[in-house]
Amino acid sequence: MIKFFRRIRQRLLSENKLSKYLVYAVGEIILVVIGILIALQINNANEQRKENEFELKILKEIRSNLQTDLEEILEDIGLMEDINNACSVVKNYILTQDEPNDTLSYYSAQLRVTPHFSPIVGGYDLLKSGDVGIIKNDSLRKEISYLYDMLYPYYKTYEEERSRFHILHSEHKLLEYFSMKFDIKQNISYYGLFFEISQEDFTKLKTDTQFLKLLSAISFENNATLDRAKRIEQSIQTLIENINSELKSD
């Protein structure tokens, strides 16, 4: 093709047809410019296609991570509801019963539980490793960032506060009266964990007013974390729905 155009230029010059040559030269320049513009348009279209594919990949990855996070936070919520119930059952048992039995072993073991939420951030890390602006929907992009950068870290502070409380106040008090056992096959176990207490220790426990106060404090700390966990659950649910809507629109 280049040789073809070169022959035309040479023939026009050899025939001294300067005006025709100039017209031809201008036409050739226009053709070159058009070719460049077409090439740029094709390249831009390819880049846009790649960006769209990358955006879809990130959104699907984040959605998958969120679905796993949702399962975990729901499980944690269930555990925390069990802890609240255990505080009530153990308190009532101490006040009304004179001998320890399997009921006390089962529910007192739940006082040892401190659920921890570990969100999966692979999709969000992938987003941050590139251009965050790859997600064109501004409100969706802000919602994703808000969940990962604000809500998740804030929830973690609640868990850390509850954990500190357990270490400083609950753990040693429970060990004062109960022997911790773990046997996943044990019928009275709570996820394999169960407590044993002697008649002598139970008699002492019944007169320990500080232990009853501890049960109220455990419930308080647990409820604060539970309330925040339910907000996290709702935020995850909403974000998954919004990502689904965005994926359907593409």
Average pLDDT, rounded, for the chain: 86
Picking from 175, 165, 162, 201, the residue whose alpha carbon sits closest to that of residue 109 is 175
Least confident piece of the model among 81-95, 102-116, 120-134, 194-208: 120-134
In degrees, rounded to 5, the angle at the alpha carbon of residue 169 between the alpha carbons of residues 166 and 170 is 55
pLDDT of residue 42: 61
Higher local confidence (pLDDT), 247 or 8: 247
Is 250:49 a contact under the CB 8 Å cutoff? no
pLDDT of residue 21: 47
158 pLDDT more than 70: yes
72 pLDDT more than 90: yes
User: Which one-letter amino acid corresponds to residue 197?
Assistant: I
Where are the domains positioned within the chain?
2-249
Higher local confidence (pLDDT), 248 or 37: 248
Q: Express each pLDDT in 209-239 by its tens digit.
A: 999 999 999 999 999 999 999 999 999 999 9
